[in-house]
A and B are shown apart, each in its own frame.
Chain A
Amino acid sequence: MLVLKVVALDTLVGSLIGDEEGNVLVKSLSPSTNINELVERALKLEDGEVTEDFIKSLRELVNTYGDQVEVVVTDDGHARAASALNIKATVSPENSALRRLRNTLITTLISEGVVKSEGEWVSFLNQVMIQATRIKLRGFAAKRDLLAIQAIRSIDDIDKTINLFASRMREWYSVHFPELDDLIEDHKLYATVVYEFGSRDGLSVEGLRKLGFSEGKAQRIYDVSRRSMGADLSEVDVERIRDFVGVILNLYDLRDKLSEYLSQVMKEAAPNITELVGPTLGARLLSLAGSLEDLAKMPASTIQVLGAEKALFRALRTGGRPPKHGVLFQHPEIHVAPKWQRGKIARAVATKLAIAAKADYFTGRFVADKLKKDLQDRIAEIKELYAKPPAKPAPAPEKAKRPERPPFRRGRRGRGGR
């Protein structure tokens, strides 16, 4: 019996089956103009799934030409779908008839009246694929936000550890050279000096200069070291201290690496938030919220006081003043501002953050440029309108009066977020 050889193509707007010359035999097009529907199909096809149109056109093929057909398809998924209909299928995407058929898709779409021109088709594809790509990106970002959260928590742990170890280092080395403690305030610099020179006898002005000390400072450290009242240490003693200090310096290195990594991950996971408040503060907010999803679902008022839960609940309980800001205090615009402006700026930052988080999580669109500009405008406005501290309010209500208020006043806060 004669076997009919055909090629079958599954595309965004339907399926085509052609003969070996690339002539269309069967077509099943669903030229939907609903972008969301097409986006869904695009994502399916990229995963190698088979569309209903494809099955439909295979069925039609069998109905018209009998089941003695052999079909060439682009991938295993489509070959399996054909086999399920008892059609012999081979996978050969570079098949020349298949290539030709691929090329007739656009002309078919035009002759079918789905689109008027190739340009129209491409600009349509442009919209569909931008949307599909955003959805795929969101999938990536959703996992990356958890990495950013772990990274910022690690950085915080490292900071604590460095502080702990640094005070140990200072005490330990002070047995040998107590005066150095007052001479070098920076932990990292102190550690570097100990690590580089070991025993205080090893100090040299030139060596200190190389570490970045000014001439005068290097000379002073050197002079003090010559008449130190510290105890002499054996080589073994000094070596153990150096081992310990080496760990501290490694921690500093690790911290640098992690914060570089953090800014990378934050740009991927939450580009809008990162642009608005920087990677570190952005990651802290994610960390406090739990995930990008959680942060995206929070109202601005909650974001404003993230990190100040204790103060917030105390305020709710006692009816006192709620906190103006939580971790947002780290935003430079807030902590350099005069006290009476901080609450207003924090509120402005929080509202923009709420939008940024929603954009990052739900749409993947980049809107931070506009948000940032709006925020700057608002901050400038606040600075102008509230340049002077507000007049002192009337004498504070007596403490004894407080209990008159109901203990819990959810939903209404005493004086509003100032």
Chain B
Amino acid sequence: MIEVVNIKPHGKYAGVYLVELEDGSVKLATKNLSPGRRVYGERLYLYEGVEYREWNPYRSKLAGALLKGIEGLVLSPGSKVLYLGAGSGTTPSHVSDLIGEEGSLYAVEFAPRVIRDLLRVCEDRRNMVPILNDARFPQRYSHIVPLVDVLYADVAQPEQAAIVNMNAKYFLRGNGHLYLAIKSRSIDVTKEPDEVYKSEIETLVRGGFDVEDVVHLDPFDKDHAMVLARYKG
């Protein structure tokens, strides 16, 4: 274990910590909800009896968005989250840390390959509910998912904004928030990223969202942006 000099709360984002290491670098981290367990080979830090997990911005777009200073972290202990495109569970595990035992995270993923990893994460974290299903058909999981406070979407599909709108109609409460990771190259490789962001944001506005902030994830992810929006519902 690498020697930690100091761990202090992030001034802007509650629940996120800054880890100062011996070599002078500073890393993002969250409190580990399942101590002793790693999810994607990240470093664990023990400080004053509490275990923290390093949050790698190159692996998790949400961490990248925080480092790029996105306006607000809308996840707090007790939040209910619907997560579309949970993948192998890298970012969801940190969301799970942030919302704590009282929170709930409904993790939707459709690729059988990665869901195995996701299941292992869910086994350690009782606040996560895995759902192997297609986010394009929200009725297929509407018997499990309640109204949620936050919709997190990282689906990298050409019609992702439409998927988000549909899921919001089903599950996102009024004034609930949306994080949308836009991978411009998955939507239209021929267009400039900024054009893609613009048209996706227009779709969100038509679906009843107020966009609060957009940050580019460069250099952590090229041609990616994270949108934070509020649902008028």
What per-residue 1/0 map shows which CB atoms of B71-92 lie under 8 Å from chain A? 0000000000000000000000
| Closest chain A residue to B118, Cβ basis | A133
B169 within 8 A of A: yes
A129 within 8 A of B: yes
Residues of chain B in range 105-131 having any CB-CB distance to chain A below 8 Å: 112-113, 115-116, 119-120, 122-123, 125-131
| Closest chain B residue to A105, Cβ basis | B146
Set B101, B122, B133, B147: member contacting A46, Cβ < 8 A: B133
A27 within 8 A of B: no
Flag if B144 contacts A119 (CB, 8 Å). Answer: no
Question: With the chains together, A134 CA to B112 CA distance in Å?
Answer: 10
| Closest chain B residue to A122, Cβ basis | B104
Closest-CB distance, A58 to chain B (whole angstroms) = 16
B13 — which chain A residues lie within 8 A by C-beta? none
How many B residues are at the interface, by size bracket? 20 to 34
Set A46, A118, A136: member contacting B104, Cβ < 8 A: A118
Q: A118-B102, A137-B115 are in contact. Are A125 and B144 (CB under 8 A)?
A: yes
Closest-CB distance, A116 to chain B (whole angstroms) = 13
A118 — which chain B residues lie within 8 A by C-beta? 102, 104
Set A10, A93, A119, A140: member contacting B169, Cβ < 8 A: A93
B6 — which chain A residues lie within 8 A by C-beta? none
B158 within 8 A of A: no
Flag if A366 contacts B120 (CB, 8 Å). Answer: yes
What per-residue 1/0 map shows which CB atoms of A48-88 lie under 8 Å from chain B? 10000000000000000000000000110000000000000
| Closest chain B residue to A117, Cβ basis | B102
Question: With the chains together, A134 CA to B116 CA distance in Å?
Answer: 8
User: Interface on chain A toward B: helix, strand, loop, or mixed SS?
Assistant: helix
Question: With the chains together, A134 CA to B131 CA distance in Å?
Answer: 10
Flag if B102 contacts A129 (CB, 8 Å). Answer: no
| Closest chain B residue to A106, Cβ basis | B146
A129 — which chain B residues lie within 8 A by C-beta? 122, 129-131, 144
A242 — which chain B residues lie within 8 A by C-beta? none
Closest-CB distance, B92 to chain A (whole angstroms) = 13
A234 within 8 A of B: no
| Closest chain B residue to A136, Cβ basis | B132
Closest-CB distance, B69 to chain A (whole angstroms) = 32
Question: Between A and B, how many residue pairs show CB distances below 8 Å?
Answer: 96
Flag if A140 contacts B112 (CB, 8 Å). Answer: yes
B40 within 8 A of A: no
Question: With the chains together, A134 CA to B120 CA distance in Å?
Answer: 11
Q: A12-B144, A118-B102 are in contact. Are A133 and B131 (CB under 8 A)?
A: yes
A267 within 8 A of B: yes
Question: With the chains together, A272 CA to B100 CA distance in Å?
Answer: 31
Q: A46-B140, A48-B139, A48-B140 are in contact. Are A122 and B127 (CB under 8 A)?
A: yes
Set A102, A132, A366: member contacting B147, Cβ < 8 A: A102
Flag if B126 contacts A126 (CB, 8 Å). Answer: yes
Flag if B129 contacts A125 (CB, 8 Å). Answer: yes
What per-residue 1/0 map shows which CB atoms of B137-162 lie under 8 Å from chain A? 01111111111000000000000000
Question: With the chains together, A126 CA to B119 CA distance in Å?
Answer: 10
A48 — which chain B residues lie within 8 A by C-beta? 139-140
B170 within 8 A of A: yes
Closest-CB distance, A366 to chain B (whole angstroms) = 6
| Closest chain B residue to A51, Cβ basis | B143
| Closest chain B residue to A264, Cβ basis | B113
Q: A130-B119, A133-B130 are in contact. Are A94 and B143 (CB under 8 A)?
A: no
A102 — which chain B residues lie within 8 A by C-beta? 142, 145-147, 171
Residues of A participating in the B interface, judged by any CB pair closer than 8 Å: 9-12, 42, 45-46, 48, 74-75, 93-94, 99-100, 102-103, 105-106, 118-119, 122-123, 125-126, 129-130, 132-134, 136-137, 140-141, 264, 267-268, 271, 364, 366
Residues of B participating in the A interface, judged by any CB pair closer than 8 Å: 101-102, 104, 112-113, 115-116, 119-120, 122-123, 125-133, 138-147, 169-171, 173
What are 23 A-B residue pairs whose CB atoms fall within 8 Å in the complex?
A9-B143, A12-B144, A93-B138, A93-B169, A94-B170, A99-B170, A99-B171, A102-B146, A102-B147, A103-B147, A105-B146, A106-B146, A122-B104, A122-B126, A122-B127, A126-B122, A129-B122, A129-B131, A129-B144, A133-B132, A134-B119, A137-B132, A366-B119
In the complex, the 3 A-B pairs of residues with the closest C-beta atoms, listed nearest first? A94-B169, A123-B126, A103-B147
